[in-house]
Amino acid sequence: MDRGVLGVGPRLAEAVVLYLDDPNRFASAAAVASYAGLVPRQIESGTMRRFGHITGRGPGLLRSLLVEAAWTVYRCHDWAKAFVDRDWTDKVLQYLSDAMPEEQLLASVEKTNRLQQAAQICEGWYFIAEKKKRAGDQAGATAAYQKAIESGATQLSAYRGAQMSLRAN
């Protein structure tokens, strides 16, 4: 019987309910993160603005349980690793800023993990489509959106975005 995500269970749920009480008192997920001390410390001086380590304010037990759950999810689930893959994010940003050609972005897709590969192919084609659309190449954008959908990574917002863009055309 599947009971959910490994690392997120009844004890974490109890702690969240105990510390948050009524979740409606928070305006957003960011407000909950701030309450739990999971937001970065901000250092501002004049026009300079830097971010440091998490503030660590709020209930320490809740913060510890959430951090441990996040690490467990990351270690045990490939989809979580794909979500957090910073190297891929950096490559996408390089492509979007014209510092990397389309071919190099697609060549840098993960080859050893099938789920991560599908996710990166979907995201890669989606961002290629968006860039082509902004450049006025509607035919190229449509073809790239179609390739994003062909990846089969249905859980990604890039997949859903590609579907919506194709329906709008």
**What digits encode the pLDDT tens for the residues 117-155?**
899 999 999 999 999 999 999 999 999 999 999 999 888
What distance in Å separates the CA atoms of residue 93 and residue 105, rounded to the nearest whole number? 10
Among 16-20, 30-34, 56-60, 77-81, which is the least confidently predicted range? 77-81
Confidence of residue 1 (pLDDT cuts 50, 70, 90): very low
Indicate the average pLDDT of the chain. 88
Q: How confident is the model at residue 48 (pLDDT cuts 50, 70, 90)?
A: confident
Single-letter residue type at 132: K
pTM of the model: 0.54
Q: How many CB atoms lie within 10 A of CB 118?
A: 21
Are 82 and 151 spatial neighbours (Cβ–Cβ below 8 Å)? no
Report the pLDDT averaged over residues 80-94: 80
- Domain range list for the chain: 10-76, 84-168
Residue 81 has phi, psi (to 5 degrees) of: -65, -40
Separation between Cα atoms, residue 35 and residue 19, nearest integer Å: 10
